[in-house]
Structure 1
Amino acid sequence: MPNAALDPTEYIEQGFLFQLLRERLADDMPMQELLEQARWELLATTKLPMAIDYLLTELKHSGLMAPAMLKLGHYFTGFQTYLVSQSETDTGRFMISTALQIMEAEAKYRSAQPTPEGLFFYQFEVLCRNRLNYDKGLTAISSDPIFDANWAKWILMLRAQIGLVDIADLLFLASEEYQHRLVEAGQPTEGKGPFLFGRREGLIALGNRRKDPLFLFAAMQRHLGYPTVPRLKPRDQTPELIPALMRRVERLESRIKLMEEERRGGIDITKFYEKGQGKIPDLKDL
């Protein structure tokens, strides 16, 4: 049974915490020190400082935060725990900075007036854009307190359909627009649904059938107003490219000098000898 949603104040402080951690990680500070510093900057009347104390204890013993977040399931959502666990794997493909940015935007969205439709699309788009495991990710999403039993059942069903059926078709079949068309056609609605999405979402899904899912997500984000999913920024290779370019320029300059010397009458190879080597011996020294 999903836990109850938290007070908006808790989500505001969570968003602030994730923002602090994300910004200060750029200074290459250990997560343990960051949490200890951030604890004193949070509102003491919320439960977040106590949650941080538990995270710090687990972090000191195992070096991981996800196991502690899993035990604090009444405070952190399953999706938050899943993101942190993926960032703590050895693959290094999904970074903790990305997880913090995603959780920051989600917490700020929850602190206002979130809707199940908007939160589902945000979390599902996160899975798609970051190529996370659909089975584990959707299972974590289904346990969110904002989703009732019908939502949770449909999300779990979605695990078996992803990759086999177009996501736009699945969304349309779970919308009130599909229900409305069944009624107009005089067809029964028993055994159909559940109709979780509104007519607007159904029309958007219908208009994006057989298209790139990113177009569907972009349209849903515009109309539902949920946060834009953070994009993965390409790694800045400028610091690595400049020394490589300088070495290449030096090699080209050396080749040009050799070509100029050859045109003037030949290359003096004695200057390439090491000191004391390659010297022609004097006959008097023999």
Structure 2
Amino acid sequence: MLEREEYVEQAYLFRMLSERLPENYPLQELLEQIRHELLATTKLPMAVDFMLAELRHRGVMSSAMRRLPHYFTAYQTYIIAAAEDDRSRFDSRVAIEILRHEAAYLAQQPTPQGLFMYQFETLSRNRLRYDRGLDAMSADPMYNDDWREWIQTVRRQIGIVDFADMIYVRSAEYLRRRTRPGETPPTPEKPLLFGEKEGKIAWANRQKDPTYLFAALQRHLGYPFAPRLKRPDETREQIPVILRRLERFEMRIKLLEEESKDGLDITKFYSQHDRPPTVP
């Protein structure tokens, strides 16, 4: 794990990129500008310099992040690589927002449970590949060996076993339900990774869409939200179209009024050359 100030600066970097990318500035220029705003006592400015060098030579950032495994996690690298893939429909703006929210969460008081649910939700909502995504997640320094083993189990069983069940059987709630009143709780077969509250929420969301599970954990336990791409505001583009349509309607109404009153005089619609000669 990095120092807290590193995650604070990462969150700032990704937030600035997220805010300025819609202005259609080249990514290279944005990184060069934001690099001078970063705290010089952190390692992020040096990482940005390396990313800039890779952008100039290869046109991508993920290769630089992959070569800095001591600073960027495999999950961060995978998210950027998925956005840079020409065959993918994964938007780079969403990728930047995902890394921004993750860094902001890591700068607070993160837990393996909260980080796992956040990372897994980003894979699920953006339809990223579970095999590569979960492999990258298992390499995160936040997780110990028990977590890595379970993440690989999820990778093998996802789509076969219900996701809520996989959480429930590794929770303290599962152990509590197996214990009869007055008896000593049995020794769990495998280490427990989730508490009673997570287990209760998982039990209540069995055989349901995983998005309900994510939302319940966020509501009750304060788990981080996975960002989503906001639809662009098209009202500015629609207003001129609406005004042109109103002008056409007004013209048609005037024509109908003239026709109902005195008859329609079509000569005023003639061009100067097509106007018929006047009879003396």
Report TM bin, short chain.
0.7 to 0.9
Aligned to 2:13: 17
Shift of 1:139: 2.1
Instruction: Check whether the contact 2:5–2:107 (CA below 8 A) recurs between aligned residues.
Output: yes
1:235 aligns with 2:257: no
Aligned to 1:101: 97
Shift of 1:171: 1.0
Aligned to 1:172: 168
Provide closer, same or farther for how the CA distance between residues 276 and 100 of structure 1 changes in structure 2, counting only shifts above 3 A.
same
Equivalent residue of 1:258, what SS?
A: helix
Aligned to 1:29: 25
TM, length-normalised to structure 1: 0.85
Shift of 1:232: 2.8
Shift of 1:187: 11
Higher alpha-carbon deviation: 248-257 or 192-201 = 192-201
Q: Deviations over 1:86-112 (max 9, x none)?
A: 332346743333222221221122123
1:76 aligns with 2:72: yes
Aligned to 2:254: 257
1:143 aligns with 2:139: yes
Higher alpha-carbon deviation: 40-49 or 210-219 = 210-219
Computed over aligned residues only, the root mean square deviation of the Cα atoms, in angstroms, reads 2.7
Write out aligned runs for 1:173-212 (5 A): 173-182=169-178, 184=180, 192-212=189-209
Shift of 1:183: 5.0
Higher alpha-carbon deviation: 52-61 or 172-181 = 172-181
1:221 aligns with 2:243: no
Letter of the structure 2 residue corresponding to residue 213 of structure 1: P
Q: Residue 63 of structure 1: which of 42, 59, 62 is its match?
A: 59
Provide closer, same or farther for how the CA distance between residues 236 and 282 of structure 1 changes in structure 2, counting only shifts above 3 A.
closer
Instruction: Check whether the contact 1:127–1:137 (CA below 8 A) recurs between aligned residues.
Output: yes
Q: Unpaired segments of 5 or more residues in structure 1?
A: none
| Number of matched pairs | 278
Equivalent residue of 1:196, what SS?
A: coil
Determine the C-alpha separation between the residues in 1 that align with 2:198 and 2:185.
21
Aligned to 2:50: 54
